[in-house]
Amino acid sequence: MTEATPRLATYPLTRERAFDPPDELARRRAEAPIQRMTYADGHEGWLVTGYAEARAILADNRFSTRPELLHSPIPQRGEFRSEPLTPGFFLRMDAPAHTRYRRLLTGQFTVRRMKQLEPRIQEITESRLDAMEREGAPADLVESFALPIPSLVICELLGVPYEDREKFQRDSAVLLNLNSSIEDIRAAVQNLYSYLHGLVTMKAKEPADDILSGLVAGGELTTEEIGGVALLLLIAGHETTANMLGLGTFALLTNPDQLAVVRDDPAAVENAVEELLRYLSIVHIGPTRTALEDVEVGGALIRAGESVTLSIGAANRDPERFEGGDALDVTRSAHGHLSFGHGIHQCLGQQLARIEMRIAYPALLRRFPNLRLAVPAREVPLRSNMAIYGVHRLPVLW
Amino acid sequence: MKIKADTGRCIGAGMCVLTLPQVFDQSEDDGTVVVLDAEPSADVAPAVNRAVQLCPSGALSVEE
């Protein structure tokens, strides 16, 4: 018998290949889907790379998401647990506190409501494609397509002026940059929060037909809480889908047979989007949870107070759940992937994200059937330094 | 089969509606699950089971 692999010290972030999670995570999964990992502060916690184990933990309310209980799996974010929680930032709350905020919003993000947005999302998509055509090749697909579509949509939904995007896109990039200092993060949160808080105050005087005005009119949350809700939804609403569109297009361009399916077969698009979500798993790190009591998962006893970091990417490639999961296969049934999470924190905006992707990928590929990379694939700058993975830029020609 | 839905647990993710819209819907008010057909025909049983399995909050269950 070979000697056991030494315990992993902090979570690996370096990806050997553009579309695959770090190799170390696959090695660890083959060895033990749940195993000990040493955290940045020396805490002896856990790393979960197996699908069944990750899903079980996400569904289990004995695991908390509260920041003051979490140990950081990477050195860069060690000081976070002492930061006060922004009011209304319900991603970092447990039930029942979380439930109260989520319930006020779920009615706005139902499958039906999101379907009603289809014509508007199509219109936005076509206008971005028109602009690309007008301006001519080459273009950075992130700047001209992948970012503006979800950004415009979430701005309209929330009632945030898109013209203000420079104010919030810069700060939101600082928040997601894993190398940002705690001071930079504090300043970015402060900027974003005071901008959104001001906007919410204005909505009280001049309400419009948007989610923030609706929350103000509902009267159940304070202006401070609505500011925090806005902060969460604004960041979550455009960074995530934007990176799926950028990285997903890159993946399709390097897999031309799969690209042809998405371009030519409307009936295949729904499945293809789920597979791209599974295969690319853009949540680059975590989530991390902390056990509130002793819990047994996959034969491991996690003690109260111990942190558990999941790798969504490794779980979504677990051969026990997705056969041949290291390959992109847009015809496979990828349902059940964990890219939107699982349990009570599963992505609120997932039905919106699905519709945006189902519209945007085929529209892009049909408008520019000759779409191709303008630089060698290895020169595409990857977001290995960001909490949400993707491409910084995607230079394309058509 | 008989579908049971616990709206107290439901978080309105919409996975059931996405999976089987003829059986599941969401309330306009808070997005929680509305079962349109609690005893659907056997031919949709696989899709019902998938909806139960995909439900992130464990709000759905099925009695045979």
* Residues in B touching A344 (Cβ below 8 Å): 11, 56-57
Question: Cα–Cα distance between A269 and A259 in angstroms, integer?
Answer: 10
The CATH number that applies at residue B38 is 3.30.70.20
CA distance A35 to A53: 11
In our burial notation (b when 16+ CB lie closer than 10 A, e otherwise), range A114-144 reads beebeeebeebbeebbeebeeeeeebbbbeb
Burial B15-46 (b: 16+ CB within 10 A, else e): bbbbbbeebbbbeeebbbbebeeeebeeebee
Mean pLDDT over B30-43 rounds to 95
Q: Which residue of B has its CA nearest to A337?
A: B54
Residue A1, pLDDT score:
39
Instruction: Report the Cα–Cα distance between both ends of chain B, in Å, rounded.
Output: 5
The helices-and-strands tally (H runs, E runs) of chain B is 2, 4
Q: Which tokens in the block code for residue A398?
A: 């058509």
Nearest to A346 among B13, B17, B53 (CB): B13
At residue B60's C-alpha, the angle toward residues B57 and B61, to 5°, is 130
DSSP state, A142? I
- Are A351 and B58 in contact (CB < 8 Å)? no
pLDDT at res. A3 = 47
Total CB pairs under 8 A between chain A and B: 71
CATH number of A8-397: 1.10.630.10
| Res. B21: pLDDT tops 70 | yes
Q: Are A143 and A393 in contact (CB under 8 A)?
A: yes
Helices marked H in A281-321 — which ranges? 312-315
Minimal Cβ distance to A103: which of B17, B30, B54? B30
Helix or strand holding residue A9 (H, E)? strand A8-9
CA torsion A87-A90-A94-A97 (nearest 10°) is 60
For residues A147 and A238, the answer to whether their CB atoms sit within 8 Å is yes
Residue A347 near chain B (CB below 8 Å): yes
Q: Does A336 touch chain B if contact means CB atoms closer than 8 Å?
A: yes
Q: Which structural domain range is residue B37 located in?
A: 2-63
Q: Specify the pLDDT at position A89.
A: 93
Do B12 and A103 make contact, defined as CB atoms within 8 angstroms?
yes
Nearest chain A residue to B29 by CA: give it: A107
CA A27 to the chain's CA centroid: 24
Determine phi and psi for A265, rounding to 5 degrees.
-120, 95
Distance between terminal CA atoms of chain A? Answer: 55
Q: What is the ipTM of this complex?
A: 0.93
Q: Where are the beta strands (DSSP E) in A10-158?
A: 34-38, 44-48, 63-64, 139-140
Whole-number pLDDT of residue A105: 95
Contact B52, B60 (CB under 8 A): yes
The structural domain count of chain B equals: 1
Instruction: Supply the pLDDT for residue A84.
Output: 80
Three-state DSSP state, A297: strand
What are A293-298's contacts with CB under 8 Å, separation 24+?
Answer: A293/A62, A295/A60, A295/A62, A295/A63, A297/A34, A297/A48, A297/A53, A297/A56, A297/A57, A297/A60, A298/A33, A298/A34, A298/A50, A298/A52, A298/A53, A298/A56
- A288 CB-near residues (< 8 Å, 6+ apart): A70, A71, A72, A73, A307, A308, A309, A310
Q: Chain A contacts of B7, Cβ < 8 Å?
A: none
pLDDT of res. A141:
98
Q: A222 and chain B: CB distance < 8 Å anywhere?
A: no
> Which chain B positions have a beta carbon within 8 Å of A103's beta carbon?
12, 30-32
| Residue with tokens 């949509």, as numbered in its chain | A153
User: B62 by DSSP, 3-state: which?
Assistant: strand
The long-range contacts involving A220-223, CB below 8 angstroms and separated by at least 24 positions, are A220/A100, A220/A104, A221/A88, A221/A101, A221/A104, A222/A87, A223/A197
What whole-number distance in Å separates Cα of residue A187 and Cα of residue A175? 10
Q: What is the structure's pLDDT at B29?
A: 87
Q: What is the pLDDT along chain A (398 residues), one digit of tens a residue?
A: 344 678 898 899 999 999 999 999 999 999 999 999 999 999 999 999 999 999 999 999 999 999 999 999 998 776 667 778 889 999 999 999 999 999 999 999 999 999 999 999 999 999 999 999 999 999 999 999 999 999 999 999 999 999 999 888 999 999 999 999 889 999 999 999 999 999 999 999 999 999 999 999 999 999 999 999 999 999 998 889 999 999 999 999 999 999 999 999 999 999 999 999 999 999 999 999 999 999 999 999 999 999 999 999 999 999 999 999 999 999 999 999 999 999 999 999 999 999 999 999 999 999 999 999 999 999 999 999 999 999 999 999 99
**Model pLDDT, residue A76:** 75
